Structure 1
Amino acid sequence: MECIRWGILGAGSIAHRFAAALERVEGAELVAISGRNAERLSAYAEKHRVDMGKCYASASDNGWKAHERLLLDDDVDAVYIALPHGLHATWSCRALSAGKAVLCEKPAVLAGAQADEVARAARESGALFMEAMKPRFTPVRSRVHELLDSGELGAVASVDVAHLLDYGELRDSYLLDPDQGGTLYDLGCYGVAWTEDILAGDVAVERAEVRWIEGRGGVSVDIADEVLLRIGDVPVRLDFSGDSQAYKVECRIDCERGSILVSMFHRPSSLLVTRGNGEPMIEDMPLVVDDFYGEVEHFCGLMRSGKSESPIMPLASTVRTAQIIDAIRAAWGPRPVPHQA
């Protein structure tokens, strides 16, 4: 495969970040884009040097026909799904059925059943599918596994994950759509994916506390989640918030003979390692280019090798992460409908 030709479904801000990283990947180019707004697509095409004839727009059907036209384009080898969360699984399956390799933005699915459908579509088509869980393609993630696998720090004793920020005013955002938004889907998928990556075993949710706010249509949507669960015999604490006054993004892994602290774990560039009773040592591990580049380069390498699955972010990880989120949501209890303050 001389050059991998990419199309992007969706022209939001994250699609710009993806395109910027793609420009740095050797042997890959962006050739097509689809979405609802023709004016926005035109600006996108000009910025990222996409032929206007490959800008597919359709406003009346929420971009549906535009995305279909892109999937029928024989000049497109791979697609990046950059649509709102609730459309990820649907368009991943349609793209796989069209024979396209698929890199889908996180969360790739909103439920374990959707994950099973995507996995089945990938296996039936034989096309490559990978969830764009970008932290897995960073030097920090590799170093964490190196430390844990070496046994130097002993077995993992506990994991504590916090992803706290302030969304600000999001009344028009899909993040407040009860069917696809909320903190657990948007922020929580990163933290859950980290725990899924480092811990094996059955999952048991011991406590799940949720704080609701009013979302679209007056229906409640989660704005903060505090979860205690156990994976295998390891206790895990998860804390996610979209209206926190404090900003904190940390994953702490306590082990028998030390600990690892990963800050900014959604785009990590360093870690703090403590061995025994010694002083914490900072290990700087800068991102290669940016936080998108690693996953895109890895994906292109898989395509050139004829692989249908990633060993770093396999289908099984997408399925298991979705199942853990399912278990947390089930532990919430009933959602206040309509919203009750």
Structure 2
Amino acid sequence: MTPDLICPAGSLPALKTAIDHGADAVYAGFKNATNARNFAGLNFDDKALASGIDYAHRRGRQVLVAINTFPQPGRSGAWRQAVDAAAELGVDAVILADVGLMAYAREQHPELRLHLSVQGSASNYEAVNFCRREFGIRRVVLPRVLTLAQVAHLIANTEVEVEVFGFGSLCVMNEGRCWLSSFATGESPNTVGACSPAKYVRWEKRLAQAGEAPGEHMEARLNGILIDRFAPRESAGYPTLCKGRFAVRGDIYYALEEPTSLNVLEVLPELLAIGVAAIKVEGRQRSPAYVAQVTRTLRAALDRARRGNYQVEAAWQADLAKVSEGRQATLGAYSRPWR
């Protein structure tokens, strides 16, 4: 069985692009704090989501809605309303992290398919099977911290479908357990819906100092904390603490995580062999052009793997390199050759 290709839809144009380029399903979110990619200018209101669902369903594809932050005291009604809205709009599944919200969804919408979000931090089959037994989840999205052998072990011990990340930004944490942004800003990405909330981000230009390349330099700060400095014409990604460059013992480098993209093309046959049900592309904050490039490439690779005689095409790697974070790619935790 070929895994489903699940692609990001941060906007209606991105949703249509993913469908047009071969996604089996897209995942999207509402324009509010129930969504872990709650960036200004992105995401869906009810009207746009209804249009996207219609577009996907007419082409035999699915729409999954991520309600993957954790309800806040005194405001939990907004999360329940999001579940209700998703069900009423006819989504194919909701992706939830909070167990209370799973219980609500199962009670109020028993026919609604539930997926356990990566933000739920389920990295072993006991946690997955608990959520299946108590809340009826049908699929789990695994954190990006497991080896292939660990993923295979989990699949062998659960009836829940397993979805893994196949391309996009990595996370140094076991998702759902990040404290870095909340340490810097007082607002957790697991609750407010964004790593490095935009209201705390500042870009400041300055002239070169002694010993620096001439020209205008850029500094990125999060709540006043200097995260990175960029030389003239140096590509600058969205600033997050985990991917910042810091002075450590006299050197300035990426102290926690170097910008790089997960890319599973090399191990795609192994993922199929162990029974992965879906391959997920990260990047709801990225452009429709990114969505088109990655979806088209992974669609071709999955189709080749399904037919057998799989071989990674140089053109595939070149195409993905154009949209990789830091222009680099890695197998991440899937391959740990020192073990």
TM-score normalized by structure 1?
Answer: 0.32
Higher strand share: 1
Quick one: higher RCO (CA 8 Å, sep 6+), 1 or 2? 2
TM-score normalized by the length of structure 2: 0.32
